[in-house]
Structure 1
Amino acid sequence: MAFRCQRDSYAREFATTVVSCSPAELQTEGSNGKKEVLSGFQVVLEDTLLFPEGGGQQHLITAIADHLFELKTTSWELGRLRSVIELDSPSVTAEQVAAIEQSVNEKIRDRLPVNVRELSLDDPEVEQVRGRGLPDDHAGPIRVITIKGVDSNMCCGTHVSNLSDLQVIKILGTEKGKKNKTNLIFLAGNRVLKWMERSHGTEKALTTLLKCGAEDHVEAVKKLQNSTKLLQKNNLNLLRDLAVHIAHSLRNSSDWGGVVALHRKEGDSEFMNIIANEIGSEETILFLTVGDEKGAGLFLLAGPAEAVETLGPRVAEVLEGKGAGKKGRFQGKATKMSRRAEAQALLQDYVSTQSAEE
């Protein structure tokens, strides 16, 4: 039997009989992105007008793609923000996408009528209708959707009575799909307006930030990227030079032979390793840290292999981090750089104990 939503896709209210009603829970995603469980009821009706699966937008795109380029649809998905049609082709060109979009919107502007019919299984017209075939246990009439002059297709979904109700369709492009498949990404109706609103808002913000018109945004971003790469390269060279200079200074430190500690907020893992390599001595314990003084960062412990093997995991524990090491070097990530003094005290105690035993 055809449901009310299939007989009249525009219906907003009607009366029917409740077949069953039982408590149920639904897992959904909340506004904060976390999963939430909603308590409610599972209601089964004798008939329904609830079928929130679109109004034939995919049907139209599929028919045009098949007609113009013999691109067959193998599946599709109605997403929350965008929809996807899987095409049975390893690639779809930009020219093909543009042609499909142009033809689809021409059909909408032409206000082509959409007709819903039910054919009997023995009707000769069934053989002329596009479809994937019927299940072996199918019984009863076959529902056929005909877009005048475009396509006739077996379909159980809801459809508008005229293509003009679809308003507009925008194909955003393609993405690589499953093996030898291509995903066609599209928006329709009010979603196109929302997408335009977001895009225009982004364009206005970029115009203010980049201080140029929309037509120059790409070039302005490229220039910024090139400038950033150059600055990063220069900064890295300076940081390397600084690391070498610091290594030489640490060798002359009054703490040499005990625990030599250094923290640089702007450093990185390479910065610490350059210092450790330049010093390259097992005469002292070297404790280096970089990053936010009160937040997260990186640490490196270098020195006598036996001492580092013993102290490395303990330092990581104090800094509430984790790491690994070998051959006289232990390094890792820390979440509590504010506890550097505690870690340094731990190292000093170790050195003092070793000296007393000697």
Structure 2
Amino acid sequence: MVFYCQRKCFDKEYKTKVVSCKPATLEVLQNGKKNKRQCFEVIFDDTVLFPEGGGQPDDRGTVNDIEVVRVIRKGGTALHYLVAPLEEGTEVLQRVDWARRFDHMQQHSGQHLITAVTETLFGFATCSWYLAEKMSYIELDTPKLMPEQMEKIEKEVNSKIREGIPISIAEYDIDDPAIKEVRTRGLPDDAVGPIRVVCIEGVDTNMCCGTHVSNLSQLQAIKLLHTEKGKANKTLLYFVAGGRLLEYFGNCYNQERKLNILLRTEPSNHLFIAQKNQSDLKATQKQLREALKDLAIAEAEKVKNQTPKPKWFMHHRTNADNDYLSTIVNSIDDETILKVLTAGNDQGAGILMVHGPQHLVPNVGSKLCEIFEGRGGGKTRFTAKVNKLNKRAEAEKIVQTLLEDLDVEN
């Protein structure tokens, strides 16, 4: 079936009737995690809301002001998932989220144009494409796309856009001989009804179920961004078209202005200043590591020079790390002294290291993990990640009480 949205790509509203409505459970992606959402699966006589297909995501919108959270195609049927039910047989008003729809139309028609020009110029076929939220990519059947080739493709596609070449959509029966002349990557197994062919006049004819602009001028412009190595000797070519291009370069310009202020220089010097700052940071970090090592050795010397030798030692440093704590342990080099060492945020998360007599270390480490709200392990050197370093005073009392109890037992 060819839906209303595929025949009238620019229509934003449509009145239709509810054929069926039933409760459903839909798996949705929220914050990178898949969650199940209770909703209602609705079928209409027809729809202005595009179900996903041809590499194009599905539309969003409303039906009688009820939110539509997904639209998918199943054979010749569009399944709509709504947050509230509708009565079967009633007439309803569908509204499409036009900003999302037109963006998808620009990217999809842009992909058709880039695919056609790339194949014409260099013979690189398109294997697939992906329309993401910020930028899209085309998977090309070539192990590499050279910069000069990208430049030539970009010039040609934007030349076609400036010409204002019309785009038309025709429908054919599946056994129509004209179908044999159309570029295609194949039909879905459950495809039914007429075959849609998108034609960029004099540039490309392509079998496609998606929604498209009616003239290349509506793409405004296309920018090819970069390439990445794909699977099996393929290349991913990233691009933005139309409104996305304006948004993308608007964001780039705003970031550039902020960098001008932060780096106190003009854009042509940004890379040089960033590389210099990175080099200076590495040198500073090396000096800090050396200074922390010297401090660790100095702390260890304090313990080693105490008379009489202490039974236990507790120490904390905010800006230290595991290397700092290990240096103290290694420099003291005495397993008869119980060493309780911490590093990190005074009021929050950090690390714990306990070293000393083997019969004490696991027990002390476990008790301190309870206080500091952390997890760790080890028999001779107990290490842990902890979350409540502000409880160090309480931890010190626990260690002191534990050692005093052992003295009494002995």
Q: Calculate the TM-score normalised by the size of structure 1.
A: 0.90
> C-alpha offsets along residues 15-74 of structure 1, whole Å, 9 cap, x if unaligned?
3333223455656567x8888877664432222222245252221111122222222222
Amino acid at match of 1:292: N
SS of 1:305's equivalent in the other structure is coil
Amino acid at match of 2:128: S
Q: 2:85 is matched with which residue? A: none
Gaps of 5+ in 1: none
Q: 1:21 is matched with which residue? A: 21
**Superposition pairs of residues 15-54 of structure 1, within 5 angstroms:** 15-24=15-24, 41-51=40-50, 52=59, 53-54=104-105
Contact 2:224 2:237 in 1 (8 A): yes
Aligned: 1:266 with 2:319:
yes
SS of 1:75's equivalent in the other structure is strand
> C-alpha offsets along residues 156-184 of structure 1, whole Å, 9 cap, x if unaligned?
22222211111111222123333433222
**Superposition pairs of residues 1-358 of structure 1, within 5 angstroms:** 1-24=1-24, 41-51=40-50, 52=59, 53-55=104-106, 56-134=109-187, 141-253=194-306, 256-326=309-379, 328-358=380-410
Cα–Cα, structure 1 residues 9 and 356, in superposed 2: closer, same or farther, change >3 Å? Answer: same
SS of 1:16's equivalent in the other structure is strand
Partner Cα separation in structure 1 for residue 179 and residue 241 of structure 2? 30
* RMSD, matched Cα: 2.5
Contact 1:18 1:44 in 2 (8 A): yes
Contact 2:143 2:233 in 1 (8 A): yes
Partner Cα separation in structure 1 for residue 26 and residue 189 of structure 2? 33
Deviation at 1:264, TM superposition (A): 1.3
Contact 1:169 1:192 in 2 (8 A): yes
SS of 1:216's equivalent in the other structure is helix
Partner Cα separation in structure 2 for residue 255 and residue 297 of structure 1? 31
> C-alpha offsets along residues 112-132 of structure 1, whole Å, 9 cap, x if unaligned?
111222334454432221113
Contact 1:258 1:348 in 2 (8 A): no
Contact 2:303 2:310 in 1 (8 A): no
Partner Cα separation in structure 2 for residue 255 and residue 266 of structure 1? 30
Partner Cα separation in structure 1 for residue 123 and residue 212 of structure 2? 23
Cα–Cα, structure 1 residues 33 and 73, in superposed 2: closer, same or farther, change >3 Å? Answer: closer
Partner Cα separation in structure 1 for residue 189 and residue 302 of structure 2? 84
Query: Which region of structure 1 is more displaced relative to structure 2, 255-264 or 227-236?
Result: 255-264
Gaps of 5+ in 2: 51-58, 60-103
Over the matched positions of the two proteins, sequence identity in percent amounts to 43
Contact 1:66 1:72 in 2 (8 A): yes
Amino acid at match of 1:194: E
Contact 1:257 1:283 in 2 (8 A): no
SS of 2:225's equivalent in the other structure is strand
Partner Cα separation in structure 2 for residue 310 and residue 195 of structure 1? 56
Partner Cα separation in structure 2 for residue 263 and residue 228 of structure 1? 25
Contact 1:72 1:87 in 2 (8 A): yes
Partner Cα separation in structure 2 for residue 300 and residue 141 of structure 1? 70
Partner Cα separation in structure 1 for residue 323 and residue 187 of structure 2? 64
Query: Which region of structure 1 is more displaced relative to structure 2, 139-148 or 162-171?
Result: 139-148
Partner Cα separation in structure 2 for residue 138 and residue 270 of structure 1? 62
Query: Which region of structure 1 is more displaced relative to structure 2, 94-103 or 20-29?
Result: 20-29
Contact 2:2 2:193 in 1 (8 A): no
Query: Which region of structure 1 is more displaced relative to structure 2, 141-150 or 88-97?
Result: 88-97
Amino acid at match of 1:10: F
Partner Cα separation in structure 1 for residue 241 and residue 22 of structure 2? 36
Deviation at 1:324, TM superposition (A): 2.0
Partner Cα separation in structure 2 for residue 346 and residue 139 of structure 1? 74
Amino acid at match of 1:80: E
Deviation at 1:211, TM superposition (A): 0.2
Query: Which region of structure 1 is more displaced relative to structure 2, 219-228 or 144-153?
Result: 144-153
